[in-house]
Amino acid sequence: MSRKYFGTDGVRGEVGKSPITPEFALRLGYAAGTTLVAREHLPAGEHPAVLIGKDTRISGYMLEAALEAGFAAAGVDVCLVGPMPTPAVAYLTRALRLQVGVVISASHNPYHDNGIKFFSAHGAKLPDAIEADIEARLEAPMGCMESAKLGKARRIDDAAGRYIEFCKSTFPGALDLRGLKIAVDCAHGAAYHIAPSVFHELGAEVVKIGVSPNGLNINDRVGATAPEALRSAVLESGADLGVALDGDGDRLVMVDRAGRLYDGDQLLYVIARHQARSGTVPGVAGTLMSNLGFEHALGRLGIAFARAKVGDRYVLELLQEKGWLLGGENSGHILCLDKHTTGDGIVSALQVLAALRASGESLEQACADLAMYPQKLINVRLPAGFDWMSDPAIRAAQSAAEQALDGGGRVLLRPSGTEPLLRVMVEGKEAAAVGRHAEAIAAAARQATGQA
């Protein structure tokens, strides 16, 4: 599908610049609404209904109002839940039997970015065909239903409580978190009023971080993309573990009592290892960025491994194709399809904790057989329209690195799906060599784009 507005995770960009403007959000709501009206065959007089949630960015108020107006103009009812994690919107859409869920968020990006993404009635990302239909309708003039057919809006007051109970239900009933002190970093994001309650109600003593959003501080030196805040809190408070989410609550990293950081590959390994001990795990899906050490460790457990393109929607597609239930990205997006239809940072943390409580092990002990290869990731900003794939200097630097690694590592260049960046990743057995090769390729990219 050729996408004009939709990327790998909905529509995203800087607020105030196309397409993240109130005018576009209004048209997007109307286009999505007319797509719903055309596709849904409901009883006479009944309107399709959507649920809209958002993270804590100040621009969420503006975009929420514009989307609500667009849906209403198309004859679609709207349920509002306010700040709510992305996976909560997926769950509530399914639980309330609504037709579509909408999330206003730019995930781990800074506050001046925002985005809009959609979930189906089943709590999964929208199929490409429906996104294509919405994009086609965006090109048509916007209309408005007659007054008697306009949509209505209402607020779901108990949304947070419903989702808290759902998260708790994914933790084994025979276990609890009593006796554990857990630092929980919510990145001043959508989970600020959710995550601490989940862990506390399961018995843990909770040290709260990143739970004071002001509209401008989401992901600012806190959360999964800035784990030093969590590490410091764990060491200062003497916590047993630390859990960090990103701004929309679908990404997870953890820290042990010694301040060691565990990424998505390591946490997914803990879950897969535990499940393999109590049953069978036919396979785990990762991405092109997943660590070679992770793949090799799964192999020693007799678990198959397959790689998807980077992006949780591609991991989900691969899991569905294979008929598997576990997958994720090293960035911390983890899919446990036996628990939820989408990646969920809180639910994933609970699966890791369940594995540790059942075995009596620490995070370090659970990862003892997992030897991670050193990786170096460097982001290089790309000018609009720059064809990095055809640049001879970049290709020469990549080729030189691959020859030097001589089969003992990997080089991966890929554009970001959400930002104008080229991501340069090198992986190998020796950290110093990995760093040199990554820096050489990044330097060639900067020079090619006039940044040197």
Q: Which two tokens stand for residue 251?
A: 């990404």
Residue type, 259: G
Torsion of CA 154, 158, 160, 163, to 10 degrees: -100
Residue 69, in any domain of the structure:
yes
CB distance 328 to 315 below 8 Å: yes
237 is catalytic: no
Among 40, 206, 51, residue whose Cα is nearest residue 130: 40
Q: What's the whole-model pTM score?
A: 0.91
Alpha-carbon distance 406 to 403, whole Å?
A: 5
- What SS3 class is residue 377? strand
56 and 125 fall within a common domain: yes
> What does the chain come to in residues?
452
Alpha-carbon distance 6 to 2, whole Å?
A: 9
150 and 230 fall within a common domain: no
**Measured on CA atoms in the order 76, 131, 342, 85, is the torsion positive or negative?**
negative
303 and 418 fall within a common domain: no
Among 161, 252, 231, residue whose Cα is nearest residue 201: 161
Among the ranges given (67-71, 122-126, 181-185, 314-318), the one the predictor scored with the smallest mean pLDDT? 122-126
51 and 65 fall within a common domain: yes
Percent of the chain at pLDDT > 90 equals: 89
Residue 1 has pLDDT above 60, yes or no: no
CB distance 296 to 370 below 8 Å: no
- Phi and psi of 103, rounded to 5°? -120, 130
Question: Tell me, what's the pLDDT at 452?
Answer: 67
Percent of the chain at pLDDT > 70 equals: 99
Alpha-carbon distance 417 to 397, whole Å?
A: 23
Under the banding of pLDDT at 50, 70 and 90, the label for residue 363 is very high
CB distance 222 to 188 below 8 Å: yes
Torsion of CA 209, 287, 352, 367, to 10 degrees: -110
7 has which bridge partners?
10
Under the banding of pLDDT at 50, 70 and 90, the label for residue 129 is confident
Catalytic residue among 59, 105, 107, 290: 107
29 and 124 fall within a common domain: yes
- DSSP characters for 320-346? HHHT--EEE-TTS-EEETTT-SS--HH
CB distance 113 to 16 below 8 Å: no
318 and 395 fall within a common domain: no
Mean pLDDT of the chain, nearest integer: 95
Residue type, 450: G
Among 393, 445, 369, residue whose Cα is nearest residue 414: 445
CATH number, domain containing residue 408 = 3.30.310.50
pLDDT tens per residue, range 224-262: 999 999 999 999 999 999 999 999 999 999 999 999 999
Count of beta carbons in the 10 Å neighbourhood of residue 300: 9
pLDDT tens per residue, range 268-297: 999 999 999 988 899 999 999 999 999 999
Residue 388, in any domain of the structure:
yes
Q: In what order do the strands lie in the sheet with 100-104?
A: 11-14, 113-119, 100-104, 49-54, 77-83, 153-155
CATH number, domain containing residue 320 = 3.40.120.10
Q: Which two tokens stand for residue 287?
A: 């991405």
Among the ranges given (31-40, 47-56, 163-172), the one the predictor scored with the smallest mean pLDDT? 31-40
Instruction: Report how many domains make up the chain.
Output: 4
- What SS3 class is residue 373? coil
151 and 249 fall within a common domain: no
Domain boundary among 260, 292, 322: 260
Under the banding of pLDDT at 50, 70 and 90, the label for residue 8 is confident
Query: Structural domain of residue 230, as residue ranges?
Result: 178-260
How much helix, strand and coil, in percent to the nearest 5, is found in the chain? Answer: 40, 20, 40
Residue 410, in any domain of the structure:
yes
What lies within 8 Å, CB to CB, of 384 at 6+ separation is 420
246 and 277 fall within a common domain: no
Alpha-carbon distance 295 to 80, whole Å?
A: 42
